[in-house]
Structure 1
Amino acid sequence: MALEYLSPSDVAALCAGDAPPVIIDVREQWEYDIAHIAGSVLIPLSTLPERVGTLDPSRRYAMLCHHGMRSEMAGNWLTQHGFAQLINIDGGIDAWSVEVDPSLPRY
């Protein structure tokens, strides 16, 4: 299955449902410290290959970064490594702060 692209609002609706995806934030620690989604898991893109073993290929994951480019790379990499239920959050945390949670700082 290919990487699915959803808006922050669509992902927020999934997170409020019965089977929420796990949000994987692939930004750096300093970015996560500025703004992050509660409950998200920080796995910086550079550490993904060494941390992939901590992820369950049968789970659904929503990938997040600042604007959507690093999360797209992470999602495509995970797809190549046997993960089938992957979402790229279009526009990243920046769009999330506009569409879903305006209390999150933008940077």
Structure 2
Amino acid sequence: MKEITVEDLKKMRDKGEDFQLVDVREDFEYQMSNLDGELIPLGGILIEAGKIDKNKPVVVMCRSGKRSAMAIMQLEQQGFTNLYNLKGGILAWADQIDPTISVY
């Protein structure tokens, strides 16, 4: 499984690179803190797979990187090859990039 760090994600955002950010946490978690990704909770990832772009890099994130890894495993079985797990999830983002973001 391919992974990127929060530093890599910040660089991609700062450069305005064309990618999709998918957040697989639950709605209440997303409401508490998010990085403006598209919310597709893990439980519905296969049902909502049509919302995920196959033609550009897709960064999948969650709280710590575990649920996003599970989502990627499921999606790769459906033929996706352009997925990157955000190592450490939003906890790493809060720790290394933006300490003002709410974590739980």
TM over 0.5: yes
Deviation of 1:67 (Å): 0.5
* Superposition TM-score, scaled by structure 2 size: 0.91
Look up the match of 1:100.
97
Following superposition of structure 1 onto structure 2, how do residues 23-102 of structure 1 map, counting pairs within 5 Å?
Answer: 23-38=21-36, 40-102=37-99
Query: Percent of aligned pairs with the same residue?
Result: 32
Structure 1 CA distance, aligned partners of 2:17 and 2:77? Answer: 24
Deviation of 1:94 (Å): 0.7
**Structure 2: runs of 5 or more not aligned:** none
Letter paired with 1:98: D
CA contact (8 A) 2:46 2:75 kept: no
Deviation of 1:21 (Å): 2.0
- Which string of whole-angstrom CA distances, capped at 9 and with x for unpartnered residues, describes residues 56-93 of structure 1? 21221101001000000111211121211111001110
Moved more, 47-56 or 63-72: 47-56
Moved more, 41-50 or 5-14: 5-14
Structure 1 CA distance, aligned partners of 2:21 and 2:53? Answer: 13
SS in 1 for 2:22: strand
CA contact (8 A) 2:21 2:58 kept: yes
